[in-house]
Amino acid sequence: MSVFKAIAAPAVMAVALMLAGCGDDHHDDRLRQAGPHPALADLMKVASADAGARKFRQCAACHSIMEGAMDRGGPNLFGVFGTKFATNRARYSYTAALAKAGGKWDERALDVWMTDPQAFVPGTTMQFRGVPDALDRADLIAYLRTQQPSR
């Protein structure tokens, strides 16, 4: 066996094993840790920002999440956590319904929004139907909390 094959084979196997675990966010284990009928606060205790980053990929079709990035079909969500509704992006044309709704993007508001944007703010133009899984929403919220300007 050549030296290259002796080194390359284990390296390829190690990379394959690492990649195999990339999508495993231990969802069911974390959900059990949150307890029976968990409230949002319980879910946030077991939420994973890393899992939320992976789950954000579905949001990335319409939303960017990098400091200074352009808005897409929806506003750039970098720094949105903790801001008032319809204020995160000065140049984005938010709907009047969202601007009039009043409120702040905290854990509770984001959870309700991600459950069903149309029910939370009737008249919003966001066409996404929502994230049905409560822990997935908590993971996304945990991720959004990490996407803040450096202080």
d(CA 104, CA 84): 4
Please write the tens of the pLDDT for every residue from 107-123.
999 999 999 999 999 99
d(CA 113, CA 104): 11
Span 26-32, average pLDDT: 95
Which burial class, exposed, middle or buried, applies to 34 when counting CB atoms under 10 A from its CB (0-12, 13-18, 19+)? buried
- Tell me the pLDDT band of 23, cut-offs 50, 70 and 90: low
pLDDT of residue 127: 87
Domains of the chain, each with CATH number or no CATH? 27-146 (1.10.760.10)
> What's the pTM value of the predicted model, to 2 decimals?
0.83
d(CA 144, CA 15): 29
Assess contact for 100 and 121: CB atoms under 8 A. no
Q: Residue 70 pLDDT more than 60?
A: yes
Assess contact for 84 and 94: CB atoms under 8 A. no
